Amino acid sequence: MSSTSLSSSAAASMERFDRQTSRYGSITMTLGLILSLAGPIYIAFFSGMEVTASMVWVALLAVAATFGVLWVVEPLTYFPILGSAAMYQAFMIGNISNKLLPAAIVAQSAINAKPGTKRGDLAAVMAICGAATVHLTSLLLFVGVLGTWLVHNIPVEVIEVARLYILPALMGAVLVQCIVSMKALRPTIIAVAAALLVNFAVIPLVPAVGPFATALVVAASIVFSWVLRQRTAQAATEN
Partner 1 sequence: MQTPFAVAAADPSSTNIWAIANTPILWICILGVFAVIFVQTVLYAKAAKAAAPHIEMPARELKEAFRAGAVASIGPSLAVVLVAIALLALFGTPAVLVRIGLIGSAAAETASASIAAGTMGASLGGDSYTQQVFAVAFMAMSLSGAMWMLCTLIMTPLLKKGGKSLAKRNPAVMALIPTAALLGAFSALTIAELPKSNVHLILVGISAASMGLCLYLAKALNQKWLKEWALGISIVIALVSAYFLHTA
| Residues numbered 71-130 forming contacts with partner 1, rule: CB under 8 A | 71-72, 74-81, 84-85, 87-89, 91-95, 97-111, 113-120, 122-130
Minimum distance from residue 193 beta carbon to partner 1 (Å): 9
114 CB neighbour count, 10 Å cutoff: 15
Minimum distance from residue 25 beta carbon to partner 1 (Å): 7
When asked if residue 136 is in the footprint of partner 1 (CB under 8 A), the reply is yes
When asked if residue 206 is in the footprint of partner 1 (CB under 8 A), the reply is no
Closest to partner 1 by CB, 39 or 207: 39
Residues near 86 by beta carbon (within 8 Å), at least 6 away in sequence = 100, 104, 121, 124, 125, 128
Query: Considering only residues 2, 4, 5, 138, which one is a binding residue for partner 1 as defined by CB under 8 A?
Result: 138
Query: Considering only residues 2, 5, 28, 232, which one is a binding residue for partner 1 as defined by CB under 8 A?
Result: 28
Q: If you compute the radius of gyration of the chain from its CA atoms, what whole number of angstroms results?
A: 22
Minimum distance from residue 205 beta carbon to partner 1 (Å): 15
Q: Is 63 helix (H, G, I), strand (E, B) or coil?
A: helix
- Asked if residues 49 and 43 have their Cβ atoms less than 8 Å apart, the reply is yes
- Asked if residues 194 and 220 have their Cβ atoms less than 8 Å apart, the reply is yes
When asked if residue 67 is in the footprint of partner 1 (CB under 8 A), the reply is yes
Minimum distance from residue 180 beta carbon to partner 1 (Å): 6
Termini Cα distance of the chain: 20
